[in-house]
Chains A and B, each alone.
Chain A
Amino acid sequence: MSNWDILWSSYDVFLSGFYNTLKLFGLSAVLAFLMGSAMVFLLEGSRPRLKVPLRIFIDGMRMLPFLILAYLLYYGLPSAGIRMSAWTAGIIALVIYHGAYFAEILRGCRSTFAQGQVEAAIAQGFSQPKMFMRIILPQLILKTRGLLGNQLIILLKDTAFLVIITVRELTAAASSLSSTYFIPMEAFIVVIGFYWLISIGLELFIKMIGRFGAKRGFENA
């Protein structure tokens, strides 16, 4: 049997790793984006109460490696009596960390927003949440789509760090197959191919949003 045949015989290991990585990525991408948007919403208004704590949180996260946060949740918190599975710790770390990055991207764009549009919405009787959801957020997404896409790819890549805290994702699959059969080259080529595919998919998705935006006169940010 060639090395590739050996790999093919354990395609289910890849598939489950691939599936787990997609699940980690999809779930945390959605939650992190919601969290980032929620933070920007909390910064709305002329004198937001949470401005200082949010600023500290966002800047703090941006100065940390992702893995240290995962370590903190998985290895560190049990000494404070908080225990969770590697999977849970991983997702929470991804959401908190990338939520802060999403918040920073959106906030940066929000601060360049013309006040007039917001006033037009207020004058028409929009409530704050509705205005944010329907007038502000869609434009933030269109304007920052390039940065958001980059961040999604970084998030995807950060899921691989979770192999270090024992999450069974795609890189873990390659690692375990290569140590079982001593065929690291083939195993990792397949896995890197998977990551590449997802990244290309993400880039296409961002291009799609780009067409949506170009039709509305939003040039890329």
Chain B
Amino acid sequence: MPETAAVSIRNLSKSFDGTEVLRDVSLEVQPGEVVSILGSSGSGKSTLLRCINWLEQPDRGDIRIAGDRIGVSDTGKPMSRRELAGMRARLGMVFQGFNLWPHLSVLRNVTEAPIHVQGLSKAEADERAMALLEKVGMADKREQYPYTLSGGQKQRVAIARALAMQPKVMLFDEPTSALDPELVGEVLGVIKDLSKEGYTMVLVTHEMEFARAVSDQVVFLDKGIIIEKSHPSEFFENPKTDRVRRFLELEAPAV
């Protein structure tokens, strides 16, 4: 019997103001797998990621997290806010713009949801948070406030914050695109460590080399349609479509 997919997307479609941004997208992510989503700007990558945790509501199709449907309850009705919050807590999301909460210290950014959403005691949450801050190399900055941190440090805290909910799946939306080039490495390093530890991850990125190194599967979106879905070696060395070939030439000039 096959394992239940960590994320299973079937026939997903989504329009904004009558323009179809995602068209009939289907995708399975197995537990422990790292899937990279590539595509040029405006192709619908963020929208796809945001549909997975229902920050955007799809028009058609269904999305399951470890077998449970998100957004629609068993009775077929839209999920209540509470049910939806419960599902979202199983997904960790890391944004391009970090989105840390500026009024909270690094440590409190990480413990906020475990304490106030999951109901952990402060001591338990602190312990969990410190272990994660250790992992992303930010433990010594735990008492600082976000405005004092560099972009790379902020993003590492944001990753720890997402991990603190012990999500089944981590979603990354261009986690390094807002960073100065010299800070990209520290964040990619953390993500790479997570992949080695067996985290299930869906990653939107423009870092081709990185996607190639960490992914088990690469998905290429073009105008809201998945036009390639393959193993990275296949994808980068032997693209099936001209569209991808042209994309790779533009993104990764002469290695």
B112: chain A residues within 8 A (beta carbon):
124, 134-135
Contact A119-B95, Cβ < 8 Å, known A124-B117, A124-B165, A217-B102: yes
Within A87-135, which residues are at the interface with B (CB < 8 Å)?
114, 116-117, 119-128, 130, 134-135
The docked-state distance in angstroms from the alpha carbon of A119 to that of B101 is: 11
Judging by beta carbons under 8 Å apart, are B99 and A120 in contact? yes
Judging by beta carbons under 8 Å apart, are A122 and B55 in contact? yes
- The answer to the question of A47 belonging to the interface, with a C-beta cut-off of 8 Å to chain B, is no
- The answer to the question of B97 belonging to the interface, with a C-beta cut-off of 8 Å to chain A, is yes
Interface size class of B (residues with CB under 8 A): 20 to 34
Judging by beta carbons under 8 Å apart, are A120 and B165 in contact? no
The docked-state distance in angstroms from the alpha carbon of A119 to that of B93 is: 10
* Number of A-B pairs, beta carbon distance below 8 Å: 79
Within A38-57, which residues are at the interface with B (CB < 8 Å)?
none
B86: chain A residues within 8 A (beta carbon):
125
- The answer to the question of B116 belonging to the interface, with a C-beta cut-off of 8 Å to chain A, is yes
Judging by beta carbons under 8 Å apart, are A127 and B85 in contact? yes
- The answer to the question of A139 belonging to the interface, with a C-beta cut-off of 8 Å to chain B, is yes
How many of A's residues come within 8 Å of B, CB to CB? 23
Contact of B103 among A116, A125, A128, A138 (CB under 8 A): A138
Within B42-67, which residues are at the interface with A (CB < 8 Å)?
53, 55
The interface bits of chain A over 14-45 (1 if a CB of B lies within 8 angstroms of the residue's CB, else 0) are: 00000000000000000000000000000000
Q: Which residue of A lies closest to B95 (CB)?
A: A116
B247: chain A residues within 8 A (beta carbon):
none
B145: chain A residues within 8 A (beta carbon):
215-217
Q: Which residue of A lies closest to B105 (CB)?
A: A216
Judging by beta carbons under 8 Å apart, are A128 and B81 in contact? yes
Task: In the A-B complex, list the 4 residue pairs whose CB atoms are closest, starting with the nearest.
Answer: A217-B147, A125-B89, A120-B99, A116-B99
